[in-house]
Amino acid sequence: MALIVKKFGGSSVATPEKIFNIVDRVLREKQADDKIVIVVSAMGDTTDDLVALAKQVTSKPYGREMDRLLSTGEQVTIALMAMAFNERGQKSVSLTGDQAGITTSDSFNKGRILGVDPNRVFEALDAGNIVVVAGFQGITEYGDMVTLGRGGS
* Contact criterion met (CB below 8 Å) for 96 and 74: yes
In this prediction, residue 69 carries a pLDDT of 97
Q: What is the mean pLDDT of each run of 10 residues along the chain (153 residues)?
A: 94 98 97 95 96 95 92 98 99 98 95 97 98 97 90 56
Q: How many domains does the chain contain in total? A: 1
> Sign of torsion, CA 47 48 54 58?
positive
> Is 58 within a domain?
yes
In this prediction, residue 120 carries a pLDDT of 98
Task: State which amino acid sits at residue 50.
Answer: L
> Is 153 within a domain?
no
Of 77, 78, 71, which Cα lies nearest the Cα of 138?
A: 71
> Is 152 within a domain?
no
Domain with residue 57: its CATH number is 3.40.1160.10
Domain that holds residue 66: 3-147
| pLDDT tens, residue by residue, 44-83 | 999 999 999 999 999 988 899 999 999 999 999 999 999 9
> Is 70 within a domain?
yes
> Is 77 within a domain?
yes
> Is 122 within a domain?
yes
CA pair distance 8, 55, nearest whole angstrom: 27
